[in-house]
């Protein structure tokens, strides 16, 4: 297993902003649009209502990121107790090392500890690697929710968190 340091940071931390800019470029390229315009701000990822993580390589470079934010029943089809996964991203040169799985597991554990009932996520049909990751870790298709719920390319998944 590759050694990585996973740190909790704020969503507006400079390394988080850098990785977010990179994922936005990838979204724009894959979907030929402006990227993900879901409204987000740093306060959405502050514990205990959320968490934001960055993985650093042995030289201190930020190479992967992900976060969750709490959601409750609202007009965008969220449910009470949802934890929404946001900004999962691994830089191209660090893909295939298991970083996304490690971050995902840490986010699920944290959301579970915070009392969240299920983890939900929205991705797109032009991100087959993401869909494969989520399906392989127990996520199942669910009703569409969130900012892109009315887009044909949107794919939504959910996983019950259970409580240990």
| Parallel/antiparallel/unpaired status of strands 62-71 and 154-160 | unpaired
Coil, helix or strand for 6? strand
Distance CA 106, CA 131 (A): 19
Q: 103-156, pLDDT tens digit by residue?
A: 999 999 999 999 999 999 999 999 999 999 999 999 999 999 999 999 999 999
Q: Write down the mean pLDDT value for the chain.
A: 95
pLDDT of residue 102: 96
How far is residue 23's CA from residue 111's CA, in Å, rounded to a whole number? Answer: 23
**pLDDT at residue 163 is higher than 70:** no
What are the backbone dihedrals phi and psi of residue 136, each rounded to the nearest 5 degrees, phi first?
Answer: -75, -15
What domain count does the chain have?
1
* Domain CATH number, residue 38: 3.40.630.30
Range of the domain at 31: 5-160
Cβ partners under 8 Å of residue 136, min gap 6? none
Predicted confidence (pLDDT) per residue in 16-30, tens digit: 999 999 999 999 999
Query: What's residue 159's pLDDT?
Result: 98
Cβ–Cβ under 8 Å, residues 147 and 38: yes
**pLDDT, average across residues 78-84:** 97
> DSSP letters of 29-77?
HHHTSS-------GGGGSTTSEEEEEEE-TTS-EEEEEEEEEE-S-TTS
> How many C-alpha atoms does 88 have within 13 Å on its Cβ side?
26
The number of CA neighbours under 13 Å toward the Cβ of 105 is 9
Q: Which residues contact 106 (CB under 8 A, 6 or more apart)?
A: 6, 53
**pLDDT at residue 1 in the model:** 56
Query: pTM, whole model, 2 decimals?
Result: 0.94
């Amino acid at each position: 297993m590759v050694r990585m340091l996973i740190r909790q940071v704020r969503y507006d931390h400079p390394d988080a902003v850098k990785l977010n800019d990179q994922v936005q470029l990838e979204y724009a390229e894959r979907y030929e649009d402006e990227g993900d315009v879901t409204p987000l701000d740093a306060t959405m990822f502050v514990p205990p209502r959320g968490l934001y993580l960055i993985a650093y390589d042995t030289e201190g470079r930020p190479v992967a990121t992900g976060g969750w934010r709490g959601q409750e029943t609202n007009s965008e089809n969220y449910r009470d107790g949802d934890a929404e996964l946001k900004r999962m991203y691994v830089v191209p040169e660090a893909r295939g090392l298991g970083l996304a799985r490690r971050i995902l597991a840490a986010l699920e554990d944290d959301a579970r500890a915070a009392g969240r009932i299920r983890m939900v996520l929205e991705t797109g049909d032009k991100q087959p690697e993401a869909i494969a990751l989520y399906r392989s870790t127990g996520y199942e298709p669910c009703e569409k929710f969130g900012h892109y719920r009315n887009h044909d390319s949107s794919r939504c998944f959910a996983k019950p968190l259970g409580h240990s």
